Structures are given as C-alpha cells and as structure tokens.
Amino acid sequence: MPTTIATIRGRVRQDLHDEDSSAYRWTDAVLDRHISRAVTEYSQYTPLEQKSVLTTTMGSRDLSIASFTSVVTIDALEWPTGQFPPRYVPFSQWQGILTMDIQNAPSGVEDVNVYWTKVHTLDASSSTIPAAHEDVIALGAAAYAALDWTSFATNRINTGGEDVWGRYKAFGESRLRDFNRAMGRIGHQGLVRMRRLYSTDAPAPRRQDRAYGP
C-alpha cells in the first residue's frame, strides 16, 4: 500500500498515545495541519527535485514559471538543450519571471530545461517523501501537535490532571529538538551532493559584489 497522509497520521497518533477513536484528543484535520507543517519544514532542507521544459519567445529572454507550484528554489537553466556537456546560462528571477542573462535573445521558439525544487507532496493518495524519512515527518508533526495543544490547554481543567499540559509541553519540546536535529542531518547530507550545475565553460551567474567602507 502506498504511503498517504493517513499512514503518517496513524504514526503520529501512536507517538501521541491518542489511538482511542472514541475519544481522540486531536481531530484528523488538526493532525493533518501539523503534518503539512512538518512536510513544509522538511522540504526546506531536502525539497523535491524537478525538471521542466519551457519554451522561449522570439526576441525575449523572459520565461514564465506561473505553472510551477510550491516552488522552493530555481537551480539552473539549460539552454540551448541537447548539448554535451550541458550548457547552463545565468538568470535572474522576479515575480514569477526568469530572465536569462544572455547577450542575444533567442531568435525563435526553443526549449529551455529548468531545474528546480518544490515542496513535497503528502496527501490522501500519494507521497513523495522517501520511506527513510517518513518517521521524521511523523516526529515533527507530533512535536507541533503537542505544543499546539499545550498552548490551548493552559489554564484549562484537563481530565488527565492539572499537570497534563506540562507533560505535553515537555514531550513536544523534546520531539521538536529531535526533529530539528534530524533536519540538520538531512540538510548536511544535501550539502554533500554537488548541486551546482554550471559546466566549467559556461558563464557563471552574475554576483553583485558589495563594497564595504573602512
């Protein structure tokens, strides 16, 4: 069976000891919100890699990325395509438009390969989260759920006793520390990989150097 948000929700309930369906402390909708938050946070460290083909307009250096959803980063533009080694061009990005920083604009309709990353998908029917990281998502969601409930339950009478909110607070803070450590490890693993796609004979992206006074 494919992993879905319901699968992760079940793991979160196990971690929170909230498995009595007749008396759930957290509704499915609330847990799904915390799971989505964990997925978004996770995606900042190891987003889903994408490759899309856009086409140029004669005489224009601009490319619209309006069709791209949940973008994290735009990593590289390959143009012209079909060469080996691949050629990458520097570009700038502003308000959903990529502008190729090239001297001569394309003279016709040509393909441009766009390498980019986006937020992972975890919904009712599918998941792009690697199996090895599913427990990390559940960990983060449990932390967020516990801390959110702590805030709600403070100064309220709780059936679990007056200190139940404190136990959830300690639980949530502990899980959040574990989640942040896991994100640090995942982020470090991503840095080890070569993510700079520019070939040695292609112009490097422009960098604005800042001059500092004495």
Q: What pLDDT, in 10s, does the model give residues 39-68? A: 999 999 999 999 999 999 999 999 999 999
Residue 202, pLDDT > 80, answer: no
Task: Using the predicted structure, report yes or no on whether residue 15 has a pLDDT greater than 50.
Answer: yes
Whether residue 22 is contained in a domain is answered as yes
Does residue 202 sit within a domain?
no
Other C-beta atoms lying within 10 Å of the C-beta of residue 78: 22
What three-state secondary structure class fits 186? Answer: helix
Q: Is residue 199 part of a domain?
A: no
In a domain, 67, yes or no: yes
Do 184 and 133 share a structural domain? yes
Query: Based on the domain organization, do 55 and 98 belong to the same domain?
Result: yes
Look up the domain containing 129 and give its range.
Answer: 5-45+121-192
The DSSP call for residue 34 is H
Query: Per the structure, how many domains does the chain have?
Result: 2
| Helix then strand then coil, % of the chain, to nearest 5 | 40, 20, 45
- Please tell me whether residues 64 and 89 are part of one structural domain: yes
Is there a domain that residue 214 lies in?
Answer: no
Q: What are the DSSP E strand ranges found in the chain?
A: 48-55, 62-64, 71-78, 88-89, 91-94, 97-100, 111-118
Question: What's the whole-model pTM score?
Answer: 0.81
Same domain, 29 and 14: yes
Whether residues 85 and 114 fall in one domain: yes
Residue 197 lies in a domain: no
Is there a single domain that holds both residue 41 and residue 23? yes
Same domain, 71 and 97: yes
* Segment 79-134, tens digit of pLDDT: 999 999 999 999 999 999 999 999 999 999 999 999 999 999 999 999 999 999 99
